[in-house]
Amino acid sequence: MLRQRVVTALVLVALLLAALTAHSQWPFALLMLVLIAAAGWEWARLNQAGGVLALAMGTAVGLGCLAALFAGWPVQAPPAVWWLASGMWVVGGFVALRAGPAAWPQLPQVARWVLGLVAVWAAWLAAAHARAVGINFLLSVLCLVWMADVAAYFGGRAFGKRKLAPSISPGKSWEGVWSGMAGVLLLAGLWMWIDIRFAVDGPSLYSRLWQSLGPAGMVPSLLVLCGLSVAGDLVESLIKRAAGAKDSSQLLPGHGGVLDRVDALLPVLPAALALLTLTAP
């Protein structure tokens, strides 16, 4: 299992780096399209769509991404898209988590399908747009989610006492959440120093927020993004628990499915782009 995890991780990192550093934005957009289409297929399966129907839904997500790509949205998407997607996550995520796993299957099946497919499509569009903004900006958003997750894991193991959502993810604690937020604030300080000292292709998320909103605006913005990363993780855990599944699929040997790897990114990517609209000159 460990060998599978390592090999899969190395392959994914190699593909990501090659796509990110390509002169054109297309390789990254297409790589993310494949992953997001797979995530759409996984979402459909977790929500009781049959084999052919789930495949059709994953294909529909991929075609939706292609349509947006040819329309030029990854470069110039309407700002309302980011705010609508973020609002959907804030409201929908709160309602779903408050209701718990038992209530999720009671929602109309079509509504569950549509919500999930729109969420993964919006995440693809946000990732493609972030790449167009700049590699440094995109990496700063991705690393925010990864730092929040890693710091929460170690902080939870060291200090965790109060359970965050025991009926959904028993291993998560409030102390882990605070540790993740602290880790992200430390990362922000380090990244802003890197922006100043090294040649980068553009400002990171952290520098943009600091320059436009100041520390009083940057800090709460980053804490909101951390909270959304936790919400994305918990919502996927809720759906898997409602479906009686351990992983979203077995597409990534040793890692489960694509949703298992990108769940926290689904709400954070659109929210980061929403915040970017506040920093525009």
Nearest alpha-carbon partner for 278 in 82, 25, 43: 82
Phi, psi of 271 (to 5 degrees): -65, -40
pTM above 0.75, yes or no: yes
Structure tokens at 39: 């995530």
Output the pLDDT for position 240: 95
Map residue 252 onto helix, strand or coil. strand
Task: Give the pLDDT of the chain (281 residues) as one tens digit per residue.
Answer: 567 777 888 888 899 889 988 888 899 999 999 999 999 999 999 998 888 999 999 999 999 999 999 999 998 888 999 999 999 999 999 999 999 999 999 999 999 999 999 999 999 999 999 999 999 999 999 999 999 999 999 999 999 889 999 999 999 999 999 999 999 999 999 999 999 998 888 999 999 999 999 999 999 999 999 999 999 999 999 999 999 999 998 888 878 899 999 999 999 999 999 999 998 66
CA distance linking residue 92 with residue 90, whole number of Å? 6
Structure tokens at 230: 């936790």
* Dihedral class, residue 211 (left if φ above 0, else alpha if ψ from -120 to 50, else beta): alpha
Q: How many residues does the chain have?
A: 281
Domain segments of the chain as ranges? 2-279
Phi, psi of 245 (to 5 degrees): -110, 145
DSSP H/E element including 275: helix 265-279
CA distance linking residue 270 with residue 125, whole number of Å? 8
Alpha carbons within 13 angstroms on the beta-carbon side of residue 208 total 23
| β partners of residue 165 | 169
- Going from the C-alpha of 19 to that of each of 13, 15, 16, 116, 123, the distances in angstroms are 10, 6, 5, 26, 17
DSSP secondary-structure letter at 101?
T
Output the pLDDT for position 1: 59
* Cβ atoms of residues 213 and 244 within 8 Å: no
From the number of C-beta atoms within 10 Å of its C-beta (0-12, 13-18, 19+), residue 182 rates as middle
CA atoms 117, 120, 122, 128: torsion sign? negative
Instruction: Give the type of residue at 281.
Output: P
Instruction: Give the type of residue at 148.
Output: A
CA distance linking residue 213 with residue 95, whole number of Å? 30
Structure tokens at 207: 């520098």
